[in-house]
Chains A and B, each alone.
Chain A
Amino acid sequence: MKKMWLSVVVAVAFAAVVAGSALGEEINAYMGLSPENNKKVVDLVREKTGIQINQTFQSFGEIEAKVKSEAPNFNADMVTGCGSPLAFMAKKNGWTVPFVSAGWKGISDVYADPEGHWFNIANFSFVLVGNKDNLKKKGLKMPTSWKDLLDPKWKGDIVMPSPLSSGTANMMRFSFLALYGDTEGWKFLEALDKNIHHYTRSGNAPTDLVGRGEFTLGITSDENVKARIDKGYPLIWSIPKEGTGYDGTFAFILKGTKKLDTAKKVIFFLGSQEMSSLLSGIGYMTPRPAPNALYGKTTPKYIKIDLAKAAEDRPKNNDLWKSKFRTDFK
């Protein structure tokens, strides 16, 4: 009798555990804005369309690696936030389901592929952040030029993301290469490397690390800067005089999805004014104009960038990066 009772308990528990939650319309997506911004987008989409986006946050670089390794058997229905290298690669390799969405009507070609292979929901940039307390304690000032970062006084006190895993860092790299030219650009990166404490996995991580005072300076994605300052982190941010680079946050439907209609509804909504307003309120540059929380009315100075070339050069530059910046045997 006891044994039977036990099996009943186990069976019931098993059933309860396996059953799981049955929600309404759901879709699985790769999404790499930042954990908290992912959540904001997911919440808005659910609120306005009733669709639940299941996502797990990863860096742009990681999403790129994942989609590349899974092709053509993708484990998600769509991508709702990745960098330009993956978006262009996906279009070229035919990994996307093209779809010209009415929701994106009137938006410029910069933000939406005319053939409907990808949609850029927002541009973001990188900025220099400093920890006010640390700067004050050390009697130092925020650098005004990127070249100021090469000063030995910053040695071991700067963090930036790794271009191997982070799309933001990839953007930094191609921006500096565009700004200084290939040869001088690599020289700049090599000199900068001497002052970098370590390279973080995600493009937003330096914001938190510098905000908590672990390090004094960080080159970081602008996505979370506003939110951290509002929360009370002693952060100061600036764009040095040479300007900054930019990359998009791309969305597209992955081939093989069984939820094409749901995916189309999501794409439709991503082009709406509401979505642009949300992202603009965080500090992104959006396809539909809206008041920008980080930059206000000013437009930051941009380095001239060819995103297609940057995407093409990425593998080559990764190899070069690895050969230059990895610790040698001591």
Chain B
Amino acid sequence: MATAGDMTHTGSSTAIAGVKDFFNKNLVKILAFSLFLLLALFLLYPIVAVLLKSLKGPEGWTLKYYTVFFTKSYYFQSLYNTLILGLINTFICLVFGFCLAYMATRGPWWLRKPLKIVSLIPLVAPPYLFALSLIILFGRNGFCTKLFGMDWEIYGFDGVAISQCLAFIPLAFMMIENTLQSLNPNLEESAYDMGASEATIIRTITIPLLTPGLLKAALLIFVMTIAEFGNAAILGGRTPFLAPDTYTMITGESDFEMGSVLSVVLIAPCIIIFFIHNYLLEGKKFTTIGGKPVASEPRRITPAIMVPFTLVTLISCGAIALSFLVVLLASFVNILGVDNSLVLTNYFDFTTNYAIYNSIRVSFIAALIGAAIGVLLAYVIVRGNFFGRTFLEMVSLSGFALPGTVLGIGYLLAFSAPPLKLTGTLMILALNCVFRFIAVGVEAGISKLHQINIEIEEASADLGASFLTTFWRIVLPIMFPAFVAGFIYTFMTAIVSLSAVVFLVSPGFDLAAVKIFDAAVYGEIGIASAVTVKLVLIVMLCMATLHYITKKTQTGVAQKGVF
């Protein structure tokens, strides 16, 4: 599609006067080049820094740190646990996410809204909220443990796997639901009319059409699961995982060489999956033609599907809702499990307010810069015609495959000494979030641009508008929804994410997510819960405001832009 656009562009441009066009085209190239420089500096360079650190000892180049890694069974255990956790979680999240998404798009009307709300709440909460709720319920002095006299050890692999699943099912749901919604239901309906059973339809139509969405979700969840280490660090006990090990290694021992080796090992499976995902998607980008996606009518779902799907839905939504409820309750409890009287003291601990304020600042700056760069990148990738375009696209989308810990350590290694000293500032936190999450804005922008025919831009150019005018009056309004999508995603993810920024906070520039993690690791469940609740409320408030603003402005911009 992009190539077709480029060809039309070149074709028509020869027809018009060449000078302006030359200038215009070079402007795109200049823009592309400066964007590439930014990516190279803030995305590639930190990763290269990690790689170099892992290969360099005090005496020069060496493989000895890798030798240590592959000969010590401890590290092997850690790697094994990490991969198994990643695979199990990805599988469970996809299955659960699909069931939820299916019910939310094909199920009865009354179910759709509540389902969506419940399963999307966790997106505004730190993922390790579920570790907190598991401790509160099933810890050795937990509520359920005492009530039922249970003898179940949550400190270990099981606990980590359960909390990670609960944390990332919503993400799977969101991504699969997005794709499901854009599938035109006509195909499924005609199959149904022709007598195919529902299971057959799901197997032969829905899932194959969903493949791109499922693959993307799988990639993202795998990477998130093995990198977001809050749950593993809180619940892991003595079960080793790579990400928390890396964290201890860097923050506890400042063993940057071994920490870098662990990061490189962590990044390897992610890159492999990234390439498999790209390979499988080659030529598989089908869309069901037929205009705008419409919400499909509720359908009579056969019991064979209805029962298991409803069960899965109830279990996951129930567990998620319960976790939030439990954390909300715990935030009002004096000493959990000891003195269960209700108090407000946890909320009146204002020491963390500064961190919450910082979190909002960082996320806001990151979202603004990230969404802007994302939209520009998408534009040059789709409309540009220059050497290295595919490479630029790959680099900007690689953020999907980068574990947060790696980018955190990379920033620490790359930007801690002059002339590029950024550590100890607020900006390093914001920049880290910008480039970690830039892929979403880029992708939203690319898909938006693919939907819009280049003819509008060409018409504008033909009528004598300069490149900048065209960009400002035509392209930007079209891209506005992509900008909003990038902004919202970056804002939400940045504010709750821990795995990268935990390495970059410094005195005076603390973040709420890190504070909650510290309190939880420390055993101060009440404080951790209260800060979580505060953070969730603030994020929701921000999202509501954003939603309101975009709704107010979007209609205006869209009208102005397209007509």
- Could you mark each residue 231-248 of chain B with 1 if its beta carbon is under 8 Å from any beta carbon of chain A, else 0? 001001111100000001
A-B contacts, CB under 8 A, total? 169
Task: Please determine whether A214 and B368 come into contact, CB atoms closer than 8 angstroms.
Answer: no
Which residues on A sit within 8 Å (CB–CB) of B144? Answer: none
Task: Please determine whether B523 and A208 come into contact, CB atoms closer than 8 angstroms.
Answer: yes
Known: A214-B139, A232-B339. A73 touches B421 (CB 8 A): yes
**Minimum C-beta distance from A219 to chain B (A):** 15
Task: Please determine whether A66 and B253 come into contact, CB atoms closer than 8 angstroms.
Answer: no
**Minimum C-beta distance from B405 to chain A (A):** 16
Q: Which of B80, B237, B364 contacts A329 (CB 8 A)?
A: B80
A234 in contact (CB, < 8 A) = yes
Which residues on A sit within 8 Å (CB–CB) of B337? Answer: 212-213
Task: Please determine whether A35 and B522 come into contact, CB atoms closer than 8 angstroms.
Answer: yes
Chain A residue at smallest Cβ distance from B341: A232
**Separation of A76 and B505 alpha carbons in the complex (Å):** 11
Chain B residue at smallest Cβ distance from A165: B252
Q: Which of A58, A165, A329 contacts B76 (CB 8 A)?
A: A329
A202 in contact (CB, < 8 A) = yes
Interface residues of B in 375-405 (CB under 8 A from A): none
**Separation of A322 and B74 alpha carbons in the complex (Å):** 10
Known: A13-B364, A232-B339. A76 touches B506 (CB 8 A): yes
B338 in contact (CB, < 8 A) = yes
Which residues on B sit within 8 Å (CB–CB) of A30? Answer: 507
Task: Please determine whether A213 and B80 come into contact, CB atoms closer than 8 angstroms.
Answer: no
Chain A interface, >50% SS class: mixed
**Minimum C-beta distance from B515 to chain A (A):** 8
A108 in contact (CB, < 8 A) = no
Mark the stretch among A2-10, A141-149, A241-249 that contacts chain B. Answer: A2-10
Which residues on B sit within 8 Å (CB–CB) of A204? Answer: 522
Task: Please determine whether B416 and A73 come into contact, CB atoms closer than 8 angstroms.
Answer: yes
**Minimum C-beta distance from A12 to chain B (A):** 12
A226 in contact (CB, < 8 A) = no
Interface residues of B in 244-303 (CB under 8 A from A): 248, 250-254, 256
Interface residues of A in 296-330 (CB under 8 A from B): 318, 322, 326-330
Which residues on A sit within 8 Å (CB–CB) of B74? Answer: 322, 326-329
Mark the stretch among A49-57, A90-98, A111-119 that contacts chain B. Answer: A49-57
Task: Please determine whether B240 and A213 come into contact, CB atoms closer than 8 angstroms.
Answer: no
B417 in contact (CB, < 8 A) = yes
Known: A58-B251, A212-B338, A214-B139. A75 touches B365 (CB 8 A): no
Q: Which of B155, B253, B417, B509 contacts A197 (CB 8 A)?
A: B155
Task: Please determine whether B522 and A162 come into contact, CB atoms closer than 8 angstroms.
Answer: no
Which residues on B sit within 8 Å (CB–CB) of A70? Answer: 416, 423
**Separation of A66 and B506 alpha carbons in the complex (Å):** 10
Interface residues of A (CB under 8 A from B): 2-3, 5-6, 9-10, 13-14, 17-18, 20-21, 26, 28-31, 35, 39, 54-59, 61-62, 64-66, 68-70, 73, 75-76, 162, 164-165, 197-202, 204-205, 207-209, 211-215, 231-234, 318, 322, 326-330
Interface residues of B (CB under 8 A from A): 72-74, 76-77, 80, 135, 139-141, 155, 233, 236-240, 248, 250-254, 256, 334-339, 351, 357, 360-361, 364-365, 368, 412, 416-418, 421, 423-424, 477, 505-510, 514, 518-519, 521-525, 549, 553, 556-557, 560
- In the complex, given contacts A57-B518, A75-B506, what are 13 additional A-B residue pairs having Cβ atoms less than 8 angstroms apart? A9-B549, A10-B368, A14-B365, A17-B364, A26-B508, A56-B510, A66-B254, A211-B338, A214-B139, A214-B523, A215-B140, A327-B239, A329-B76
Q: What are 17 of the A-B contact pairs (CB < 8 Å)? A: A14-B364, A14-B365, A35-B351, A54-B508, A62-B252, A73-B421, A76-B424, A165-B253, A198-B155, A200-B523, A201-B233, A204-B522, A205-B521, A205-B523, A209-B523, A326-B74, A328-B73
